[in-house]
Amino acid sequence: MHSDFDHNTQYRRKVLQVLLVITFVGGFVFGLINIYRGLYILAGLEMGYGIFSFLVWRRIMNTTRFQFWVTAYLLPFFSIMMFALSVPNSSQSIYVWILTIPVISYLLMGRKPGLYFSIVFMTLGICIFHLKFLTDDIPLNVTVSLNVILSGVLMIALAHVYERNRETNEERLLELAGTDKLTGLANRMKLIDSFAATSEYAKRHNLDMSVVLFDLDFFKNINDLHGHHGGDAALCFVADFLKKHTRKSDLLARFGGEEFALVMQGSKPKDSFQQIDSLRKKLLETPFIYNKQTVNITFSAGISHYGADGVNLDDLLVKADERLYLAKEKGRNCVVDHNLKD
């Protein structure tokens, strides 16, 4: 649900904003320190990168090319870390910054790109560390080497597990947000969000598409006779029935109250009408049993067609709703499409 849950990108934009401020300030602070130490090339790189960070910070919250700027930010950032670790007179303390690579990579790039960046730059940093700081003391070298390697592997593993769990939890939240709690079908929000991709696919491949609105006939009588628990059970019964007798490629949703919606892709107008009318007849022949009592449930339906009745969901729902009310005026338990509206 990108329209309502563009959480991922916004979250990463805010993380990058913080990092850009830190690197802007840090670039000038470390640049001045390294000028004093006589490391002029490193100082120039750090201060130049600080200016670059400021320029990126000014536009990062509005750019549509977020991933491009993330890559443009991280490549020089990590490369300067490697260079700082390798220059003469640098200290082992720079390796602390190398350990931040997995965290930063996963936070800004996600699981797979974050893993690739982490492996490449952590491996490079560990190799530079070994070439520069290991001594002739073999036992000490083994101890230092193990600490450096294991700390690097641990940081990558922790960042990977965290990001995988975060993605799983986010997917679960999105699924719950788009699911009707009572029936388990998609809800109105999921219908709206999914229609954009479905209609784009239909347009690209020149496919027919229909939108159907169902309304259970005399549903208030079920509530009055059997209580709200009976009404809820009836809704679940109809939801299961519709799910069982519609295609997996179609999008079925509870639209609200006793209304259901169905987006049928690849069905010509005539076929859509026949399929929904056949569904109506099957429901009439499938009684709902509640507290050992047989409850006959029927529905009225209105159908609209992509292209002929509009190309956006609102227009299609308006037309389907108009025909749904025509079906009710005709005595209920019937289906109306554009061929019958007059």
Q: pLDDT tens for residues 306-342?
A: 988 988 999 999 999 999 999 999 999 999 987 544 3
Single-letter amino acid code for the residue at 135: T
Task: Take residue 271 and report the two structure tokens written for it.
Answer: 């076929």
Question: CA quadruple 71, 74, 75, 76: dihedral positive or negative?
Answer: positive
The Cα 233–Cα 238 span in angstroms is 9
Mean pLDDT of 178-205: 86
Cα angle value 295/298/304 (rounded, 5°): 160
Query: In degrees, to the nearest 5, what angle opens at C-alpha 264 toward C-alphas 260 and 270?
Result: 110
User: Residue 4 — very low, low, confident or very high, per pLDDT cuts 50/70/90?
Assistant: very low
Q: How confident is the model at residue 64 (pLDDT cuts 50, 70, 90)?
A: confident
Residue 155 has pLDDT above 80, yes or no: yes
- Averaged pLDDT for residues 151-175: 83
Q: Residues 258, 259, 285, 329: which is the catalytic one?
A: 258
Amino acid 119: pLDDT: 92
**Tens digits of residue pLDDT in 79-137:** 999 999 898 877 778 888 888 999 999 889 888 999 999 999 999 988 888 888 777 77
Cα dist from 68 to 71, 104, 109, 215, whole Å:
5, 16, 10, 48
Report the relative pairing of strands 335-336 and 299-305 from DSSP bridges.
parallel
Catalytic annotation on 200? no
CATH pick for 188-336 out of 3.40.630.180, 3.30.70.270, 1.25.40.10, 3.20.180.10: 3.30.70.270
DSSP E strands, the chain: 209-216, 251-256, 259-265, 288-290, 293-295, 299-305, 335-336
Query: Which helix (H) or strand (E) element contains residue 140?
Result: helix 138-177
pLDDT of residue 341: 42
Supply the pLDDT for residue 13: 87
- Answer with the residue of higher pLDDT: 214 or 140: 214
Domain ranges for the chain: 7-177, 188-336
224 CB-contact burial (10 Å; exposed 0-12 / middle 13-18 / buried 19+): exposed
What does pLDDT average to over the chain?
87
Question: Residues 128-138: pLDDT tens digits?
Answer: 888 887 777 77
**From CA 84, how far away is CA 133, in angstroms rounded?**
13
